[in-house]
Structure 1
Amino acid sequence: MRETTIKSVSDGVRLDGDVEGTPWSEANRIDVDQFNWHRDGPKPSLTARILYDDDALYLQFHVEDHNISSLVTDLNGPTYRDSSVELFADPNPNEDSRYFNFEANCCGYFKLAWQEKGWQERDIGRDLVSASVAERVRVETSIEGPTREPRDDDEGWWLAAALPFSVLRSLTGIDIDPDSDTVWRGNVYRSGVPSDEQKATWNPMPTQVPAYHSPTYFGRFTFD
């Protein structure tokens, strides 16, 4: 099982793609490099960084992408079909297997859900964030929207987001206020790629087919 430490910040975090000279440089780099269903072809890179303060969880992704595509513009729509990134996190791993899913496409449209264990879409019981609560989530990206068609010169994109703990408390109904030594379980994913062979995860998933909704294969997030 992979582990990483989520570091705290006190001076705020800008939602952009810069790393050097910013708080993001203090975050541990998370390499999403487990191509569990790969046989041949390219392995596009994805790196993520996570920080937190008293108010929010901050995410930053850098994505290698030579086929940048995005069509979904609805809140809680099927953004996994677009060029997208995903974070699953179980903030209460010792008591249940429910976890929240933040899934954002390259244009910044996202799904935020609180859901139950179950790897097939039809098996998942989930509560979706409401539009009024979702307004408090901030997302910035390098790709201008609202939609995006692939271009010959596509190389990649970045996305940064702030998930307020007040939003996560409203969605989950549990007290989410991590502090030093808090441990979550979770995983980071690459989706919306041309084939399953290019799908990647941070923590390995030894499943025969892509099965992102598998808390059994979550890694460990420890807060400093």
Structure 2
Amino acid sequence: MGNSYNVTYSTKELRGEAWAKVAPIRLAHYLWEHDEAPYRPETEVRVYFTDEAIHARFRVYEADPVAVHSEGLNPPVYRDSCVEFFLQPMPEQDTRYVNFEFNSAGAMLAGIGSDRHDRDPAPGLRPALYEARAERGLVDAQGQVCWQLECRIPFAALAEWFPGFAPGAPMTMKGNFYKCGDLTPHPHYAAWNDIPEDVPNFHLREYFGTLVFER
């Protein structure tokens, strides 16, 4: 049984301090660790929706995030300091989900399919659609250094990829949120919902949590 999160509804897009009214999701499951003193960057994400889109803001407490893979379409950003949002909009009708992955420079990779090997890169061919915005070197109220990534997922795009999808409320979707850095100086993996498997793999729908959209 995965975690559940009630996604806040807003009549308008939130800016700056207005994000504080959205409850945070903490990525508390650190996975596939082998070091005696594993690297565990604190990560949270806040999610809300409007009539037009789903909005997410990740905050990661890393002072020196890696962002090497930022060129071209669908670069392998998971090798950098990376945050990810896997979303299954129609879990009862369609096994497919979209993976949205961003590094600390705002570069993104996205795909759609039903598992790790069945990925169509089409969602990542229009990166401007998601209005990703990354900020590095931020300092929070407690003096801790962090970086942030904001993005939006238009409902019109989901309707294009998932025939029969109609935005509204209430809606129930499935998904998971991740933090990773496969080729950083300190490789690490974190998730909102636990993945009790021996081999690193975020593409496991059976461990997705529930996202409830209500007004």
Q: TM-score, normalised by structure 1?
A: 0.82
Q: CA deviation at 1:116?
A: 1.7
Is the alpha carbon distance of 1:177 and 1:50 closer, same or farther for their aligned partners in structure 2, counting shifts above 3 Å? farther
Q: Could you tell which deviates more after superposition, 68-77 or 209-218?
A: 68-77
Are positions 1:174 and 2:159 aligned together?
Answer: no
Alignment partner of 2:47 out of 43, 50, 65 = 50
Tell me which residue corresponds to 1:124: 118
Q: CA deviation at 1:113?
A: 1.4
Percent of residue pairs identical: 26
Tell me which residue corresponds to 1:90: 88
- Match of 1:169, SS state, is helix
Deviations 1:88-143 (A, max 9, x none): 0111111232101110111111112112223xxxx233242264x43322011113
- Match of 1:126, SS state, is coil
Distance 2:73 2:51 in 1: 26
Contact 1:54–1:177 under 8 Å retained in 2:
no
Tell me which residue corresponds to 2:24: 29
Are positions 1:143 and 2:136 aligned together?
Answer: yes
Amino acid at match of 1:32: L
Tell me which residue corresponds to 2:58: 61
Amino acid at match of 2:7: I
Q: CA deviation at 1:84?
A: 1.0
Distance 2:192 2:64 in 1: 21
Distance 1:195 1:124 in 2: 29
Q: CA deviation at 1:176?
A: 3.8
Contact 1:8–1:223 under 8 Å retained in 2:
yes
Contact 1:101–1:112 under 8 Å retained in 2:
yes
Tell me which residue corresponds to 2:177: 188
Amino acid at match of 1:142: E
Alignment partner of 1:108 out of 93, 101, 106 = 106
Distance 1:32 1:194 in 2: 20
Structure 2 unaligned regions, length at least 5:
138-143
Distance 1:209 1:92 in 2: 27
CA RMSD between the two structures:
2.1
Number of matched residues?
Answer: 202
Amino acid at match of 1:143: R
Q: CA deviation at 1:28?
A: 2.0
Distance 1:37 1:6 in 2: 29
Tell me which residue corresponds to 1:150: none
Tell me which residue corresponds to 1:147: none
Q: CA deviation at 1:82?
A: 1.1
Q: CA deviation at 1:77?
A: 1.2
Contact 1:111–1:128 under 8 Å retained in 2:
no
Deviations 1:180-222 (A, max 9, x none): 23111110000115445x3100001101121100001101001
